[in-house]
């Protein structure tokens, strides 16, 4: 069987179509994200514009993990346009269910840390995670994130029940 090549690189505007398909795939595989089952609620042009803006912004990062040109994971760091909050990077990460437990999230976070070393404007990272998502929580803890709060019944699951969302953060030593 031929060896498959894993590539992790910054997303470009031309990735919008495959990325929309990936968001829809991830949304349909699990309700561990806040995505609706239809995926991301953006048009291809809107996502392409966002990707182009991210690629040209020194404090934003959008990484794609591809296996033989198929998107299997992503990590996005966005910032607030308010200058008083622009030092905080909001992290969103997703990995296709077939690749859970294969180290894709770890690789994405390792590259995130490399990028942060060259991005002094980001002083803090934040993210949220469903309490029941133990694997994601362990990944975030491994990279130094700590618990900062919880919100009971913050997200409605597909079965109609509600789940607690945990807020996690990482203050960077600068």
What are the tokens at 131?
A: 């309490």
- Dist CA 28 CA 38 (whole Å): 7
Core vs surface per residue 8-20: b (16+ CB within 10 A) or e? beebebebbeebb
pLDDT (tens digit per residue) in 109-153: 999 999 999 999 999 999 999 999 999 999 999 999 999 999 999
- Dist CA 110 CA 59 (whole Å): 17
Core vs surface per residue 103-134: b (16+ CB within 10 A) or e? ebbebbbebbeebbeebeebbebebbbbeebe
User: Mean pLDDT over residues 21-28, rounded?
Assistant: 93
pLDDT (tens digit per residue) in 36-53: 877 788 999 999 999 999
Instruction: Provide the pLDDT confidence category of residue 2 given band limits of 50, 70 and 90.
Output: low
| Residue 162: per-residue pLDDT | 96
| Residue 31: per-residue pLDDT | 87
């Amino acid at each position: 069987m031929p060896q498959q090549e894993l590539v992790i690189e910054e997303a470009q505007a031309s990735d919008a179509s495959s990325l929309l398909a990936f968001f829809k795939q991830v949304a349909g595989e699990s309700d561990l994200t806040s995505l609706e089952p239809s995926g991301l609620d953006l048009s291809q042009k809107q996502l392409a514009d966002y990707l182009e803006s991210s690629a040209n912004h020194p404090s934003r990062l959008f990484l794609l993990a591809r296996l033989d040109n198929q998107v299997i994971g992503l990590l996005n760091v966005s910032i607030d346009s308010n200058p008083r909050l622009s030092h905080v990077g909001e992290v969103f990460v997703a990995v296709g269910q077939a690749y859970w437990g294969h180290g894709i999230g770890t690789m994405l976070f390792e590259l995130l840390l490399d990028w942060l070393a060259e991005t002094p404007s980001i002083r803090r990272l934040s993210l949220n995670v469903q309490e029941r998502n133990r694997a994601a929580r362990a990944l975030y803890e491994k990279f130094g994130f700590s618990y900062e709060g919880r919100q009971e019944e913050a997200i409605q699951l597909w079965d109609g029940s509600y789940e607690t969302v945990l807020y996690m953060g990482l203050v960077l030593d600068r």
